[in-house]
Amino acid sequence: VTERFSAPTALDAALAAVADGARPIAGGTDLVVGVRQGKWPMPADLVAIDRIAELRGIVATADGLWIGATTSHADLASDPRIQDDWTALADAAAIIGSPATRHVGTLGGNLANASPAAELSGPLACFDATIVVSSVVGRRRIPIGELATAPGRTSLEAGELIVGVEVASIPDAGSCYVRLGFRRQMEIAVVAATAVVGIADGVVSVARIALTALAPIVHRVPDAESRLLGTDGGPDAATAAGRVAAEACQPISDVRATADYRRAMAAVVVRRAILGAAARARGEAVAIPASESLFGAG
Amino acid sequence: MHHGAGCSVPSWGGDVGIAEWREGPAPGGGGHGRDPIGAIGHQLSDDGRQLNPYLLDYKLQTCADVPSIRVAFVDAPALNAGPKGLKGLKGLAEPPCIPTPGAIANAIAAATGVAVDRLPMTAQRLWSALDTSSRDGGA
């Protein structure tokens, strides 16, 4: 039972509460649902951070974007800058949960929850995002690859709050996030993949690939990226990189799928993500979210 | 890819103005009949406990998954209406639930050359059937 609850409008007040042991809550789409499922008790001390204006919103910076931690998935998915230059992030944000989840669920919450299936982590890993965290002591910046450490665990220290995410633009690149699931809404990835592909003079000059729900944490796949670099980014190259990624993953068997099926599908979602990203890099239209438009594709 | 589906419903709405509303329940039944391919199904542990007892994990289709369904009525009144029957009336929404999974199963077999003989006919089960078939030198 929650005994203490505050909803400050100033970041300093929220940081003081977090330093005092309060759990931050924004949309509550993981925290409260987890309580109802019996995963954990309702925290005794909560601080709502959704009224802090400086934590919400998407702001252009010199080389990219600053995205506030309490920016909703719906706002990410509908932002024209994200749709154009960080398209995989829009693909992912557009298919988290349901319309209701996307309305209240937040970027910071998705990252702090550190699910192996976290929708936004793959795109942000491929964009080399930097996570900015604050505490009463000060601010520090964490590379996205060092945030999640295990399912449900992060490298955040006691008293630290995610305040925003920085992403830099990648010229001449396209990106794509593809998720395999049982249904289109209210779904968690069985497997998913993100690709960022840059093409210069007909040759892949930027290749970034991340796997989701295929290991304890969402992670990049350097071997698959190397395999794709220097190719034409076409179907044969995408298939080859997908196979390399499938060999690199560490799938588990659970209620949703067997490890063998996940490994086989890893190759498929990586191939589709690469082809979607390459198509976008060439200026071809691939609708957002890519998963829905690729539904049933080969 | 756009999904379309046809649904032929044996029904008899009689002649009392039912035609206007009878097209409502039929797609619902057909959509429900599609659940055996999209749902996750009961997952049981070795000792028989259900592993996905809540709707968060026991996934059913949502409105977003159901394709547009065209409805065609076969107007054949019930022959054995009996004393409680009225003008040969039949059920309307349940009938499309029943043949739809069979039609989908046959369509999967026709398209892939392998049969998925268990419900739900998940993508993983189809993949397993294809994998087994290719290892056995079949399709």
Mean pLDDT over the full length of chain B: 77
Neighbours of A99 (CB within 10 A): 10
At residue A150, the 3 state secondary structure works out as strand
Sheet holding A58-60, edge to edge: A58-60, A64-68, A161-168, A130-134, A139-143
Mean of pLDDT values over B52-58? 85
Instruction: Please answer whether residues A280 and A289 qualify as being in contact, where contact means their C-beta atoms are separated by less than 8 angstroms.
Output: no
Say yes or no to pLDDT of B9 above 70.
no
Measured in degrees and rounded to the nearest 5, phi and psi for residue A146 equal -110, 5
A186 to B128: CB separation less than 8 angstroms, yes or no: no
With an 8 Å Cβ cutoff, the interface of chain B facing chain A consists of 1, 3, 38-40, 43, 51-52, 54, 56-57, 59-65, 122-124, 127-128, 131
Q: Is the pLDDT of residue A172 over 60?
A: yes
Which of B1, B116, B124, B130 should we substitute to test contact with A (largest number of A Cβ atoms within 10 Å)? B124
Res B80: pLDDT: 67
For residue A234, how far is the Cα from the chain centroid?
Answer: 25
- Å between A12 CA and nearest CA of chain B: 36
Chain A CA closest to residue B38: A182
**A121 has pLDDT over 60:** yes
- For chain B, report the end-to-end CA distance as a whole number of angstroms: 25
Give the pLDDT confidence score for residue B139 in this predicted structure.
41
Asked if residue A204 has pLDDT above 50, the reply is yes
Beta bridge partners of B75: B11
pLDDT, one tens digit per residue, over A14-55 is 999 999 999 999 999 999 989 988 889 999 999 999 999 999
Q: Cα–Cα distances in Å, from A215 out to A212, A254, B118?
A: 7, 13, 29
Query: Which residues from chain B sit within 8 angstroms of residue A295, using beta carbons?
Result: 1
Q: Which of A180, A183, A257 sits opposite B59 (nearest CB)?
A: A183
What separation, in Å, do the N-terminal and C-terminal C-alpha atoms of chain A show? Answer: 49
Percent of chain A with pLDDT over 70: 98
Average pLDDT over residues A56-69: 97
If phi > 0 it is left, if psi is from -120 to 50 it is alpha, else beta; for residue B112 that is alpha
- Chain B contact present for A185, CB below 8 A: yes
pLDDT band at B4 (very low <50, low <70, confident <90, very high): very low
**pLDDT for the residue B81:** 59
Among the partner-chain residues B54, B56, B127, the one whose CB lies closest to the CB of A264 is B127
Look up the ipTM and state it: 0.84
A33-47, A53-67, A105-119, A160-174: least confidently modelled range: A33-47
Indicate whether B85 pLDDT > 70: no
Distance from C-alpha of A167 to C-alpha of A63, rounded to nearest angstrom: 8
A213-237 pLDDT, tens digit each: 999 999 999 999 999 999 999 999 9
Closest Cα of chain B to A261: distance in Å?
6
Contact B40 A296 (CB under 8 A): no
| Residue in this structure with the two tokens 């980014």, named with its chain if needed | A233
Query: Which residues in chain A touch residue B39, judged by CB atoms under 8 angstroms apart?
Result: 182
In chain A, the percentage of residues whose pLDDT exceeds 90 is 92
Helix (H/G/I), strand (E/B), else coil: B129: helix
At B57 the pLDDT is 83
At residue B15, the pLDDT reads 47
Check if the beta carbon of residue A277 is closer than 8 Å to that of residue A207.
Answer: no
Task: Please tell me the predicted confidence (pLDDT) of residue B19.
Answer: 60
- Summarize the confidence of residues B117-128 as an average pLDDT: 90
Interhelix angle A235-248/A259-281, nearest 10 degrees = 140
Q: What is the pLDDT of residue B72?
A: 81
How far off is chain A from B29, nearest CA to CA, in Å? 18
pLDDT of residue A182: 87
Tell me the nearest-neighbour CA distance from B135 into chain A, angstroms: 15
Instruction: Judge whether A273 and A177 are in contact, CB under 8 Å.
Output: yes
| Cβ contact A88:A195 at 8 Å | yes
B40-52 confidence digits (pLDDT tens): 888 889 999 998 8
Note whether A186 contacts B: Cβ–Cβ < 8 A: yes
pLDDT at B1 over 90: no
- Of A189, A188, A199, A180, which Cα lies nearest the Cα of A275? A199
Query: Between vectors from CA B136 to CA B133 and to CA B139, what angle results, nearest 5°?
Result: 40
Which residues of chain A are within 8 Å of residue B107 when distances are taken between CB atoms?
Answer: none
